[in-house]
Amino acid sequence: MSSSHTPYPKHATTPYMEPLKRYQHLLQDEWDDFCDALSKPLPQVLWTNTTRLTASELEPWLDQCGLLEHATRLSWSEDAWKLPASLDVAYGTLLPFLAGLYHLQEEVSLIPGWMLDPQPYERILDTCAAPGGKTAQLACLMRNHGTIVANDRSPGRLRAVRSIIDRLGLLNIAMSEYNAANFPRDIGTFDRILVDVPCSCEGTSRKNKRVLTTLENYDYENQSRLQRAILLRALEQLRPGGIAAYSTCTYAPEENERVVHQVLDQLGWDNYEIIPTPELKGFKTMPGLLHWEDESYDASMENAIRIWPHHNDTGGFFVALIQKTQEVSQ
């Protein structure tokens, strides 16, 4: 097997890393490790379509495709394998993929759905669902029962959700094409809601080298306005006791802690709380920030998690689990 990837610029000192330097003080002496991790291509993760077969039944297929000897099960999920980025394999063209036995996603993308822990007969909302990897994971965790309202504003991107539904054989998804910042009340209440908002995508630079070049003068405030509106609307539709996972693939506190803090400020901290995330066995996470620039966030923000690429050889990510404690007066 050959490596087809050109290494990224060694960039602690190159302009490539400039937009991320604002996080240098958060990482302190880990900064070089962070830069190093970003200079390497991202491992691939392949997860079992458990509505169709078990991970041990998938194993012989991975073996037949020459993947098993290179694969390691995720430390925190028995159903998924990590494959080194150096493997030059078109995973999406292999028979077990085409037959809907597995799906591909990067490791961090599997975390919010897993933490949300949807149960088979529940009613789930996925506010920003396309291209649908997380929706599919939720559908499998629910064993094809219950309801997932998979919404996205982009019709083009919803087509990708459709093709995943077909290939994996998912029965519990209703797709809608709507502005999630503005859902009508008739959408009903939900047991759990995934709020995987559009963001600056800083944490995806190992997959998409260009992303960091788009960040110069990035308008975090404008982006976070939409994120706040989407999160607010989602939290209003949670049933009492229901849980939402707010997630982004960015390091920017303006799109993470600040969004969660401001929305809960608006909805009332008595009605919602940021709850601890379940432990990801063998996977290192850092707590959400309590301060950024001249701002402070609620102490419970420590329950949110930040994922830095150099800790687990992944992309960057943020997840906050928010539980509705009682009915909010409208």
Ligand X SMILES: C[S@@+](CC[C@H](N)C(=O)[O-])C[C@H]1O[C@@H](n2cnc3c(N)ncnc32)[C@H](O)[C@@H]1O
Of residues 189 and 262, the one with the C-beta less far from other proteins: 189
Minimum CB separation from other proteins for residue 71, in Å? 13
Q: Which of 86, 189, 262, 325 lies at the binding interface for other proteins (CB under 8 A)?
A: 189
Give me the least distance between CB of 156 and other proteins, in Å please. Answer: 13
Is 179 near ligand X (CB under 6 A)?
yes
Judged by CB under 8 A, the chain residues 86 through 125 that form the site for other proteins are: 89-90, 92-101, 121, 123
Residue 42 partner contact from other proteins, ligand X, none using kind-dependent CB cut-offs of 5 to 8 Å = none
Render the burial of 165-190: b for 16+ CB within 10 Å, e for the rest.
bebbebebbebbeeebbebeeeeebb
Place of tokens 């960039």: 11
Residues 1-30 touching other proteins, rule: CB under 8 A, are none
In whole angstroms, the minimum distance from the beta carbon of 179 to other proteins comes to: 9
Q: Which is nearer to other proteins, 171 or 287 (CB)?
A: 171
Does residue 249 carry a catalytic annotation?
yes
Identify which of 291, 73, 105 has the alpha carbon closest to the alpha carbon of residue 196: 105
- Asked if 140 interacts with ligand X (CB under 6 A), we say no
CB closer to other proteins, 95 vs 268: 95
| Residue 163, binding choice from ligand X, other proteins, none, Cβ under 5 to 8 Å by partner class | other proteins
CA 231-234-237 angle, to 5 degrees, is 150
Interacting residues toward other proteins by CB under 8 A: 61, 64-67, 89-90, 92-101, 121, 123, 144-147, 149, 151, 158, 162-163, 165-167, 169-178, 183-189, 327, 329-330
Interacting residues toward ligand X by CB under 6 A: 109, 128-134, 151-154, 157, 179-181, 196, 198, 226, 230
Residues with catalytic function: 249
